[in-house]
Structures are given as C-alpha cells and as structure tokens.
C-alpha cells in the first residue's frame, strides 16, 4: 500500500517560522509541551510514534521533531527495512537505509516497531522474478529473516512479521508467497521470526481495512485462533488505520475490531494512522479530521491491550497519500509549514483527559 519515496525524492519544503496556530479548546498555545509521546505514556500507552522515511533525513526541522522523544517515543522505518533495500541481491545484505532511521532513534531513546519481514510489495527483482520451488523460496525466506533479525537483534520492540496477506473478502492475497509455498507461508514466517529475533520481541501481523469487524478482520481472527491451537508464535495484530474523513470507522467499531484479537490474548496497536482529506482542504474538513484522529487514538487508549499508536508520518509533504490517491491529502498532524493542525491538539487533549488511568480498565 505504501510506495516508496526513497527512489522518488520530493522537493523539500523549506521550514518557515511557524505562526501560532489557533485551535479549538486551547486558545493560542505557543508551547505544545509535553509532546504526544509524553502524554501517551501518562494515558497508559507504551508509546505514541511516527513512521520516518529516509528522504527527509536531511531536513533538520523534520528530524528535530521526528527524533524528539517527548513528541514521539517510537519510530517505524517507513521504507528502510523493506526487502528490496535490505537484500537487494540474493544473500547480499545492505542495512544502510534501515540504519539511517534506527541509529538516530536509538540515540533518542525511542522504541522501534521494525517493518517488515514479509510483504508482497517492494520485493527485489531477483526474488519476484525468480522461478522458485516451494523449498527454495522457504529457504530464501528463512535466510532473509535470519539475517535481518540478527542484525537488528535487540533493536525492535516489535517486528511486523507478515504485512497485508489478506484480501478484503477474507481470502489470502494471490502473491508469490501463496502461489509458491501455499497458505502455510505465514506460519513459517512467524516461526522463523521467533527463532531468530531477540527474546521478547513482539511478533505482529499487520494489515489495513481491519478496523471494523468485517470479513478480513474476522479471517485474521481465525488465523490467530488456529495459530493459538497449534502453537504458532504471534503476539499482536497491527491495525494500520489509514483513514478517510467522512468514511472512517467509529470509536466503537475500532474497539470491536481490536477485541477480535485482544479477546484471544494478543496485543494490538494502531500502526499507520493517517486521515486523508479530499482536497481542497477547508476548516470544516480539518475539524472533522481532528475528531477522527482523536477518536481513533481514544479507541486504543481505552483498549487495555492496545499498546500504542503510530502515525504514518507526521508531516504532509512526505505522506504517501497524494501519490497514491490523487486529489486527496493533508493527512498528517503537521502541515507543510510544520504548523501543528487541530488534529494534533485534539489528540493531545484526548490524551491529557485520559492521563492517570485507562478508562477501559
């Protein structure tokens, strides 16, 4: 779902001095401290985080926010740990792009959700164009997980082990993994991940469109149940939460979909939250977006086993949305001038109200 920006350099918007942004309920707040990470911890979450892509690392205004522990105490490499960059030729590993995100986030003391071991997208040509037998592809998969897990040993709070394996109707996506290995490729990936990651690393299945109880989220629940019966290791389900103003799931729906998994003892997280707007933006849409952000975060805060929320970048100019959904955008918490939007303050306000104990407990 997320085409890489790595090979597709964006012109970076120069940081302009940010005017104080008027926002409902707070008057003019010149100092947003404490940041969302601090507030999330007070509200009982482990983290509030963001995805970070390699293309913006030369923008100091951007990195001063991304690697500010108070604002974000968790980072997900948006692209840097994907297969095409990590293993560009068979058994040749290159961790440069992963390290560009992981190293500064370690320096900042942030947690990391590492992303990802297995996906149908952003695979290197040698892999997607190979004529694999089942045995050979399984050994390619094991070798990849073994090397990447070993290299990032101890660095990852969680790994997205398998990303986006299901179709919306609840069937498995027809891709090289399913076609070559069969449906058991998923459990193989989880077993390899448990074998090679550091003890305690949380192993996640991650997908979009599962923030309601629907065929897809229920199919994933069936998989988790089956894994539980047969001892296949899995610790969490990531709900990506790529939302659209006017069509987003409600608080109640997000709670109910998480309970498909928390009811089986797994943890959940909102792993890629963003809320896109049909352009041009206006004050009403921005206000509606603020409500969707706050209600989504509240649906995690109130869910005892939801550990945290990650936004899929915090700055509009690096969002994947405009490239993927022409005519849509402005999906992030900071606008192109690095001004915090009403959605930022709505999330902060919600977290402040939740401080001191989770309502769902």
Which residues of the chain form contacts with ligand NAG (CB under 6 A)?
A: 32-35, 64, 68, 70-71, 94, 96-97, 131, 169, 215, 282, 284
* Closer Cβ to ligand NAG, 7 or 183, answer by number: 7
Residue 8 CB coordination number (10 Å): 9
Q: How far is the CB of 140 from ligand NAG (least distance, A)?
A: 15
Task: For the CB of residue 293, give the shortest distance to ligand NAG in the complex, in Å.
Answer: 17
- Opening angle at CA 119, ends 264 and 151, nearest 5: 90
Instruction: Report DSSP letters for 21-51, one per residue.
Output: PPBTTTB--S---S-HHHHHHHTT-SEEEEE
Rounded least distance, CB 132 to ligand NAG, Å: 8
Residue closer to ligand NAG (CB basis): 7 or 195: 7
Name every residue whose Cβ is closer than 8 Å to that of residue 13 and which is 6 or more positions away in sequence.
Answer: 317, 336, 337
Nearer to ligand NAG, 51 or 203 (CB): 51
Gap between the Cα atoms of 322 and 325, Å rounded: 5
- For ligand NAG, the closer of residues 199 and 247 by Cβ is 247
- Residue 94 backbone phi and psi in degrees, to 5: -135, 110
Among residues 171 and 324, whose Cβ is nearest to ligand NAG? Answer: 171
Q: What is the DSSP secondary structure assignment for residue 11, as one 8-state letter? A: P
CB of 36 within 8 A of CB of 72? yes
Residue with the shortest CB distance to ligand NAG: 33
Q: Give yes or no for a cis peptide into 116 (omega within 30° of 0).
A: yes
Q: Which of the residues 267, 272, 295, 303 is marked catalytic? A: 272
Per-residue DSSP letters for 144-166? HHHHHHHHTTTT-SEEEEEES-B
Q: Of the two residues 122 and 304, which places its CB atom closer to ligand NAG in the complex? A: 122
Retrieve residue 59's tokens: 């923008």
Q: Would you call 164 a catalytic residue per the annotation?
A: yes
As measured in angstroms, the least distance from the Cβ of 267 to ligand NAG is 26
Dihedral through CA 175, CA 179, CA 180, CA 183, nearest 10? Answer: 90
- The DSSP code sequence of 314-356 is SBGGG-SHHHHSTTEE--SSB-TTSPBPHHHHHHHHHHHHHTT
Contacts of 284 (CB under 8 A, 6+ apart): none
The pair of structure tokens assigned to 262 is: 């928390």
State the minimum distance, in angstroms, from the CB of residue 194 to ligand NAG. Answer: 28
CB closer to ligand NAG out of 130 and 360:
130
Which of 71, 148, 164, 303 does the annotation list as catalytic? 164
Rounded least distance, CB 254 to ligand NAG, Å: 19
Q: What is the nearest approach in angstroms of ligand NAG to the Cβ of residue 314?
A: 11
263 and 253 Cβ atoms separated by less than 8 Å: no
Q: Supply the residues annotated as catalytic.
A: 164, 272
């Amino acid at each position: 779902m997320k085409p890489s920006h790595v090979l597709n350099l964006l012109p970076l918007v120069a940081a302009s001095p940010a005017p104080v942004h008027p926002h409902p309920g707070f008057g003019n707040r010149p100092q947003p401290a404490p940041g969302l990470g601090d507030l999330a911890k007070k509200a009982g979450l482990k983290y509030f985080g963001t995805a970070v892509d390699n293309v913006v690392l030369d923008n100091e205004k951007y990195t001063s926010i991304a690697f500010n522990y108070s604002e974000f105490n968790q980072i997900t490499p948006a692209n840097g740990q994907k297969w095409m960059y990590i293993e560009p030729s068979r058994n040749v590993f290159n961790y440069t792009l992963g390290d560009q995100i992981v190293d500064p986030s370690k320096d900042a003391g942030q947690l990391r959700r590492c992303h990802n071991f297995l996906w149908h997208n952003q695979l290197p040509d040698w892999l997607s164009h190979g004529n694999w037998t089942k045995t050979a592809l399984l050994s390619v998969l094991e070798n990849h997980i073994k090397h990447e897990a070993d290299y990032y040993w101890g660095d990852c709070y969680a790994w997205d082990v398998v990303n986006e394996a299901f179709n919306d109707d609840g069937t498995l996506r027809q891709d090289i993994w399913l076609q070559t290995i069969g449906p058991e490729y998923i459990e193989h990936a989880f077993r390899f991940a448990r074998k090679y990651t550091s003890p305690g690393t949380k192993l996640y299945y991650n997908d979009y469109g599962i923030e309601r109880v629907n065929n897809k989220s229920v199919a994933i629940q069936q998989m988790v149940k089956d894994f539980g019966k047969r001892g296949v290791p899995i610790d969490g389900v990531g709900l990506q939460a790529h939302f659209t103003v006017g069509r987003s799931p409600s608080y109640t729906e997000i709670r109910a979909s998480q309970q498909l998994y928390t009811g089986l003892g797994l943890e959940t997280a909102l792993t890629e939250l963003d809320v896109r707007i049909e352009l041009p933006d206006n004050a009403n849409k921005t206000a509606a977006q603020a409500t969707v952000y706050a209600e989504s975060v509240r649906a995690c805060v109130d869910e005892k086993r939801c550990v945290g929320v990650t936004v899929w970048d915090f700055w509009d100019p690096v969002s994947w949305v405009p490239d993927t959904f022409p005519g849509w955008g402005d999906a992030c918490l900071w606008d192109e001038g690095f001004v915090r939007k009403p959605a930022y303050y709505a999330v902060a306000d919600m977290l402040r109200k939740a401080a001191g104990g989770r309502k769902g407990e």
